[in-house]
């Protein structure tokens, strides 16, 4: 599976975004910077959060980190993936905005962060998203996703990788 994920990440562009991910991208731009210094994108495992976070790094929108790595970012924004969505953890992240003199921190989590005042966007997977995901794999990697019911992108990539022996 890792080989297929690397192939996907090597070729990803904004064109790969599914309709729901495009909505998340538009939402991020609406809440870009003060007073929205920390924002949250959340969704179930395999809903495309990591893909979006890595794409943001690729297009130089934000530095990508996986929690608990909070080293100084090289870009004006920092995306932290797999954050624990509890209040204590997220409040420990807030001071990093001032410490690193960055514009914003984007938290990626499986559940909504436990802070009502923090802007949050739920990333979901719709039928349109599935169609776009499958079309992207075929268009960019010549991979056909078997027509089986998958609960998320991660499961689909694992199944394809197993079938392709990647």
pLDDT in tens, 89-103: 999 999 999 999 999
CA atoms within 13 A on the CB side of 31: 20
Report the mean per-residue pLDDT for the chain: 94
Say whether pLDDT at 161 is over 90: no
Say whether pLDDT at 165 is over 80: no
Residue bearing the bigger pLDDT, 163 or 109: 109
Say whether pLDDT at 82 is over 70: yes
Residue 149 is predicted with a pLDDT of 81
Average pLDDT in the 16-43 region?
Answer: 95
Say whether pLDDT at 138 is over 80: yes
Say whether pLDDT at 123 is over 80: yes
**Overall pTM > 0.85:** yes
Between CA 2 and CA 44 the distance in angstroms is 20
Say whether pLDDT at 166 is over 80: no
Q: Over pLDDT 70: what percentage of the chain? A: 99
Residue 134 is predicted with a pLDDT of 94
Residue 163 is predicted with a pLDDT of 82
Give me the domains of the chain, ranges plus CATH numbers: 17-122 (3.40.50.300)
Say whether pLDDT at 30 is over 70: yes
Number of H-type helices and E-type strands within the chain: 7, 5
Average pLDDT in the 60-66 region?
Answer: 97
Residues 37/97, Cβ–Cβ less than 8 Å = yes
Q: Which neighbouring-strand residues pair with 66?
A: 81
- The size of the chain, in residues, is 166
* The two structure tokens encoding residue 51: 């893909």
């Amino acid at each position: 599976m890792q080989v297929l994920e690397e192939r996907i990440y090597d070729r990803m562009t904004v064109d790969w975004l599914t309709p729901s991910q495009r909505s998340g991208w538009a939402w991020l731009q609406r809440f870009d910077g003060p007073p929205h210094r920390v924002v949250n994108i959340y969704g179930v495992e395999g809903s495309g959060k990591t893909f979006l976070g890595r794409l943001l790094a690729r297009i130089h929108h934000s530095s990508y980190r996986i929690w608990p790595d909070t080293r100084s970012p090289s870009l004006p924004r920092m995306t932290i993936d797999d954050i624990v969505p509890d209040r204590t953890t997220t409040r420990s992240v807030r001071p990093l905005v001032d410490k690193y003199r960055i514009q914003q921190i984007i938290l990626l989590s499986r559940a909504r962060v436990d802070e009502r005042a923090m802007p949050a966007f739920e990333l979901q997977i719709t039928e349109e998203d599935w169609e776009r995901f499958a079309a992207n794999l075929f268009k960019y990697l010549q991979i056909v996703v078997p027509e089986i019911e998958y609960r998320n992108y991660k499961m689909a990539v694992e199944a394809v990788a197993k079938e392709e022996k990647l």
